């Protein structure tokens, strides 16, 4: 909640509007609105009036348009949230007036001519109406005598802003579709090309020019949109959301926990949805979707290269041989016309002199046309393109010959390590520098259509829900040190994490999954950044982690701060754990610091609580599948946090027949893993039991000394099971503790551990029961010696048992 304090402090420094004393929230017959006067909602949060965007900072633009609109009353930087007459602006020199017309409708009149510029066109049943600007920013035209008789409301006709409390979606009875529509440019409030809407089937979409779908939210699964698991996980968040789909309507809406926070959720001119928070003196962008502007379809227009790399400078640039079509529109952020050719192609005249030029390292446009006939070699492909006047480029690669006709859109600059095909851009000969390069394959292109995976991270409908700390490509550090806690999941750019980790220089650890690096979000906030290796495996782990850690929060589970999913890169960002993992403390040889018994006991309980929460506390049952000391991290106060959900399995409550593929780490695996039976959350109980033994002994269960020459009689769990019966448990405790232990607790831990590693999962306790045993809330019977272990001590050399105990040494992931 620190964030809210920051916001509140920010608000205090704002100037109160000068005319607030006289402001009213109502327009009534005979009491109109003109000039600079305005309505202010009763809570002073929203204002309505005539406005004109400032065009002074633009080189080409003058601005003759005046609109009726709504904005945040206390935000001094004019930010229109809604405009009435985007398609019919009041043009200079007319001066407008807002009034109630004789038929009861709310209208904008030209004061001089009394002509109607805009009207609510509602079917009013009375001319006794008033228009009220409500506390949520909704402008409502209603009966003056009966406030529940509403004829028209601005929430039904949203422009580019998703107001808290407004619905986006369909009224299935009246056929009203409330959707977000971007604005034409930074000063013109006419509708633009991007729309954010919930379709009648209930799926949210971000769409370009009514035709191209940029992103989809997937279906609602009761908790979140299926493509956006990160919607959950904001247990402490400043926003809440609601989704309704029934016979009458389907909609999505969000709300502010704290009414005083000023949060803007808007679909930008360039197609990017953004959530911003007003802090102090400016908007701070907290979330963008798509994360990269270049992933917003056609954001730069035709014949451009979108470059969102590390180099400074504009994101949108014309291709070689092209110039900006309309500098005025371009400057105002409306780049739909993109760039046009400087020199017309020679095509059609006697001898074709057109050449090809390839901009470096870009991703191909999507709408390629395959040329089956011309695939024998690259020269054929090039000739095929030259032979058709509408052909603007080609590429020749593993997929054969592809050509493009007409406009080339969505060409994106790739990361330097991106590989793929080559695109050749057709230009008039004089535009191509130096020698013709027709046959040189010096430029690399990425072929994959990105965005697809990044896009899985949902669309516009979740705008109000997630908060990210990114601002103009730089990590946002102003308040993050304090405010970051509990605000939800962040989407990072790769370059940001590169900077945060000083180019991945400080390695904390590694494994088959990849490596973990230390980083800093600000001077005070340290991060652990996990970079997943291996395209496929990495992707799987990444999904597993985000969809399990992403939807859960518990003091004993490591907190996922955010992730990066850009191109091939898959990175997960966690809070940094200064005391590393449990194994470092338990198995450290020759160390002078010993993990005290009371800490060990607290760690045992903490891990049990974390697992209990995973198994039963969140709505879906999550099996971690890889509990071991390496995956138990310790914070500054040695509070344990279960980490590494790369193996985790999310099971629906009803899902009983579980998983049979091999997971986990040898040495901590329950017998049912090895026998190939279906597993349940009891496999975690088994692994947890194994860890308990190690907490007591300070050595690995699989340690060589327990299993000399195939004799397992000294195997620690077996010793424990036996000593429990003979009552000599003290002799088993880690010698480096020098007897400074609570023997009652040791016995309890040993009993629980023995119950946890019972052969049959039905004999093992649940993690909830384990917590109760360890807390001393309930008592435990003496556990039987597990049969499997009994067999081992009898000297059995069953390979099954052998592999289970991992006598080869330290545990390995399988």
Ligand X SMILES: *[C@@H]1O[C@H](CO)[C@@H](O)[C@H](O)[C@H]1NC(C)=O
Spell out the alpha helix ranges (H) of 698-742. 716-726
CA distance linking residue 488 with residue 566, whole number of Å: 20
Between 210 and 731, whose beta carbon lies closer to ligand X?
210
CB–CB of 52/66 below 8 Å? yes
Q: Residues, the chain, total?
A: 814
Work out how close the CB of 777 gets to ligand X at its nearest, in angstroms, rounded to a whole number.
50
8 A C-beta contact, residue 683 and residue 695 = no
Q: Segment 142-161, which members bind ligand X (CB under 6 A)?
A: 146, 148-149
Note whether 375 and 444 are within 8 A (CB).
no
Minimum gap (Å) between residue 388 Cβ and ligand X: 4
* Integer CA distances (angstroms), 206 to 24, 157, 197, 714, in order: 37, 18, 7, 63
Residue whose structure tokens are 């001519």: 113
Q: By CB under 6 A, is residue 366 in contact with ligand X?
A: no
Helices 743-756 & 716-726 angle (0-180, nearest 10): 120
Instruction: Between 148 and 726, name the residue whose CB sits nearer to ligand X.
Output: 148
Alpha carbon distance, N-terminus to C-terminus of the chain = 42
The verdict on 122 binding ligand X (CB under 6 A) reads yes
Choose the binding region for ligand X from 118-126, 281-289, 603-611, 768-776 (rule: CB under 6 A): 118-126
Shortest CB 116 distance to ligand X, Å: 15
In the list 22, 113, 123, 661, the residue contacting ligand X (rule: CB under 6 A) is 123
Does residue 383 bind ligand X (CB under 6 A)?
A: no
Angle between helices 682-697 and 716-726 (to 10 degrees): 80
390 touches ligand X (CB under 6 A): yes
Q: Which is nearer to ligand X, 331 or 620 (CB)?
A: 331
Q: How many residues bind ligand X (CB under 6 A)?
A: 16
Q: Measured on CA atoms in the order 109, 115, 121, 127, is the torsion positive or negative? A: positive
Q: Transcribe 98-137 into DSSP letters.
A: EEE-TTS-EEEEETTT--EEEE-----S-S-EEEEE-TTS
Q: Is 212 in the site for ligand X (CB under 6 A)?
A: no
Q: Is the CB of 225 or the CB of 396 nearer to ligand X?
A: 396
Cα angle 220-221-225, degrees, rounded to a multiple of 5: 45
Mapped onto helix, strand or coil, the DSSP state of residue 229 is helix
Nearer to ligand X, 400 or 509 (CB): 400
Asked if residue 388 binds ligand X (CB under 6 A), the reply is yes
Nearest partner of 101 among 141, 138, 67, judged by Cα: 141
* Contact between 59 and ligand X per CB under 6 A: no
Q: By C-beta, is 336 or 530 nearer to ligand X?
A: 336
Buried b (16+ CB within 10 A) or exposed e, 61-97: bebebbbbbbbbbbbeeebbbbbbbbeebbeeebebb
Question: How many whole angstroms separate alpha carbon 161 and alpha carbon 166?
Answer: 10
Cα separation, 669 vs 658, in Å, equals: 16
Residue 158 beta carbon to ligand X: minimum distance, rounded to whole angstroms: 16
- Upper half-sphere CA count for residue 611 (Cβ side, 13 Å): 33
Find the Cα–Cα–Cα–Cα dihedral 334, 336, 341, 347, rounded to 10°: -170
Question: Is-contact 359 307, C-beta < 8 A?
Answer: no
- Minimum distance from residue 127 beta carbon to ligand X (Å): 4
> C-beta of 37: minimal distance to ligand X in Å?
19
Supply 164's token pair. Answer: 């808290």
* Residue with Cβ nearer ligand X (42 or 415): 42
Question: Which burial class, exposed, middle or buried, applies to 810 when counting CB atoms under 10 A from its CB (0-12, 13-18, 19+)?
Answer: middle
Report the residue number, 375 or 579, with the smaller CB distance to ligand X: 375
Q: 469, 286 in Cβ contact below 8 A? A: yes
How far is Cα 633 from Cα 610, in angstroms, rounded to an integer? Answer: 12
| 602 SS3 class | helix
Which two tokens mark 180?
Answer: 């977000």
Q: To the nearest whole angstrom, how small is the minimum distance from the Cβ of residue 691 to ligand X? A: 58
Q: Should residue 209 be labelled a site residue for ligand X when binding is judged by CB under 6 A?
A: yes
- Contact positions with ligand X (CB under 6 A) in 726-745: none
Nearest-angstrom CA–CA distance, 42 and 26: 10
Nearer of residues 42 and 803 to ligand X, judged by Cβ: 42
Distance in angstroms (rounded) separating the CA atoms of residues 331 and 337 = 12
29 binds ligand X (CB under 6 A): yes
Of residues 291-350, those binding ligand X (CB under 6 A): 336
Number of H helices, E strands in the chain: 16, 48
Residue 121 binding ligand X, by CB under 6 A: yes
User: Contact between 812 and ligand X (CB under 6 A)?
Assistant: no
Contact region with ligand X (CB under 6 A), list: 117-125, 238-246, 266-274, 688-696: 117-125
Of 24, 28, 37, 42, the one binding ligand X (CB under 6 A) is 42
- The residue from 93, 102, 314, 590 that contacts ligand X (CB under 6 A) is 102
Contacts made by residues 738-745, CB under 8 angstroms, sequence distance 24+? 740/596, 740/597, 741/597, 742/597, 742/598, 742/601, 745/597, 745/601
Of 410 and 665, CB closest to ligand X: 410
Query: Is 530 part of any known ligand binding site?
Result: yes
The span of 8-16, 115-123, 478-486, 608-616 binding ligand X (CB under 6 A) equals 115-123
CB 221 within 8 A of CB 213: no
Active site residues: 626
From the number of C-beta atoms within 10 Å of its C-beta (0-12, 13-18, 19+), residue 192 rates as buried
Residue 614 structure tokens? 């995973």
CB of 51 to ligand X, least distance (A): 24
By the rule CB under 6 A, 660 interacts with ligand X: no
**Binding track, positions 404-443, relative to ligand X; x by CB under 6 A:** -x--------------------------------------
Residue number, 28 or 415, with CB nearest to ligand X:
28
Q: Which stretch binds ligand X (CB under 6 A): 119-127, 305-313, 355-363, 468-476?
A: 119-127
Decide if residue 19 touches ligand X (CB under 6 A): no
Q: How far is the CB of 143 from ligand X (least distance, A)?
A: 7
- List residues near ligand X by CB under 6 A: 29, 42, 102, 121-123, 127, 146, 148-149, 209, 211, 336, 388, 390, 405
Residues at the binding site are 530
Residues at the binding site for ATP are 530
């Amino acid at each position: 909640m620190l964030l809210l304090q920051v916001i509140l402090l920010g608000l205090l420094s704002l100037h109160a509007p000068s005319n607030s004393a006289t402001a009213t929230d109502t327009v009534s017959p005979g009491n109109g609105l003109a000039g600079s006067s305005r309505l202010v909602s009763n809570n002073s949060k929203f204002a309505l009036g005539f406005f004109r965007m400032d065009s002074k900072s633009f080189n080409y633009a003058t601005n003759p348009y005046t609109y009726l609109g709504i904005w945040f009353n206390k935000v001094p930087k004019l930010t229109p949230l809604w405009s009435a007459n985007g398609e019919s602006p009041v043009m200079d020199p007319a001066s407008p007036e807002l009034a109630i017309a004789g038929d009861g409708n709310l209208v904008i009149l030209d004061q001089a001519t009394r002509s109607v510029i805009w009207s609510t066109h509602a079917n009013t049943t009375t001319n006794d109406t008033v228009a009220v600007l409500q506390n949520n920013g909704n402008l409502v035209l209603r009966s003056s005598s009966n406030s529940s008789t509403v004829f028209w409301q601005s929430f039904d006709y949203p422009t580019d802003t998703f107001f808290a409390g407004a619905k986006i979606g369909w009224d299935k009875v009246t056929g009203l579709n409330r959707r977000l529509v971007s604005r034409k440019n930074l000063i013109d409030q006419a509708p633009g090309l991007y729309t954010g809407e919930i379709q009648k089937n209930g799926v949210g979409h971000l769409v370009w020019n009514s035709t191209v779908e940029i992103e989809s939210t997937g279906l609602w699964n009761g908790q979140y949109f299926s493509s956006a698991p990160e919607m959950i996980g904001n247990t402490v968040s400043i926003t809440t959301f609601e989704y309704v789909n029934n016979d009458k309507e389907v909609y999505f809406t969000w709300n502010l926990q704290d009414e005083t926070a000023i949060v803007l959720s808007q679909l930008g001119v360039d197609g990017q949805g953004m959530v911003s928070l007003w802090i102090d003196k400016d908007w701070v962008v907290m979330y963008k979707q798509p994360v990269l502007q270049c992933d917003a379809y056609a954001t730069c227009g035709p014949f451009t290269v979108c470059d969102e790399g590390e180099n400074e400078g504009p994101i949108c640039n014309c291709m070689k041989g092209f110039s900006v079509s309309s500098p005025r529109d371009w400057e105002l952020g409306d780049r739909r016309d993109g760039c046009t050719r400087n020199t017309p192609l020679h095509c059609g005249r006697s001898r074709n002199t057109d050449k090809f030029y390839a901009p470096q390292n870009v991703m191909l446009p999507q709408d390629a046309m395959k040329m089956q006939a011309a695939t024998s070699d690259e020269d054929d492909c090039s000739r095929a393109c030259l032979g058709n006047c509408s052909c603007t480029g080609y590429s020749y690669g593993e997929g054969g010959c592809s050509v493009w006709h007409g406009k080339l859109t969505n060409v994106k600059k790739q990361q330097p390590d991106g590989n793929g095909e080559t695109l050749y851009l057709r230009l008039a000969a004089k535009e191509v520098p130096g020698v013709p390069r027709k046959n040189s394959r010096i430029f690399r292109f990425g072929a994959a259509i990105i965005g697809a995976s990044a896009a899985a991270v949902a669309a516009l409908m979740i705008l109000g829900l997630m908060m990210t700390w990114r601002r103009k490509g730089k990590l946002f550090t102003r308040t993050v040190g304090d405010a970051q806690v509990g605000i939800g999941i962040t989407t990072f750019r790769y370059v940001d994490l590169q900077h945060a980790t000083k180019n991945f220089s400080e390695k904390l650890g590694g494994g088959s999954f990849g490596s973990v690096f230390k980083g800093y979000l600000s001077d005070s906030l340290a991060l652990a950044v996990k970079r997943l290796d291996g395209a496929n495996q990495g992707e799987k782990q990444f999904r597993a982690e985000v969809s399990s850690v992403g939807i859960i929060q518990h003091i004993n589970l490591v907190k996922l701060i955010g992730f990066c999913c850009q191109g091939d890169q898959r990175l997960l960002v966690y809070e940094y754990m200064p005391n590393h993992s449990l194994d470092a403390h338990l198995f450290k040889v020759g160390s002078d610091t010993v993990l005290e018994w009371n800490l060990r006991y607290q760690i045992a309980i903490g891990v049990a609580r974390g697992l209990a929460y995973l198994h039963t506390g969140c709505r879906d049952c999550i099996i971690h599948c890889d509990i071991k000391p390496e995956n138990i991290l310790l914070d500054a106060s040695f509070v344990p946090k279960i980490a590494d959900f790369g193996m985790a399995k999310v099971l629906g409550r009803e899902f009983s027949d579980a998983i049979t593929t091999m997971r986990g780490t040898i040495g901590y695996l329950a017998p049912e893993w090895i026998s190939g039976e279906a597993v349940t959350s009891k496999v975690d109980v088994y692994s947890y039991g194994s860890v308990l033994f190690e907490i007591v002994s300070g050595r690995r269960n699989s340690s060589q000394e327990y299993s000399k020459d195939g004799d397992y009689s000294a195997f620690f769990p077996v010793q424990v099971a036996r000593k429990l019966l003979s009552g000599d448990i003290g002799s088993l405790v880690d010698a480096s503790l020098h007897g400074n232990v609570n023997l009652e607790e040791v016995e309890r831990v040993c009993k629980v551990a023995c119950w946890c590693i019972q052969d049959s999962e039905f004999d093992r306790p649940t993690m909830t029961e384990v917590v109760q045993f360890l807390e001393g809330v309930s008592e435990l019977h003496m556990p039987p010696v597990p049969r499997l272990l009994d067999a081992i001590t009898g000297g059995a050399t069953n390979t099954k048992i052998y592999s289970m105990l991992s006598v080869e040494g330290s545990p390995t992931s399988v």
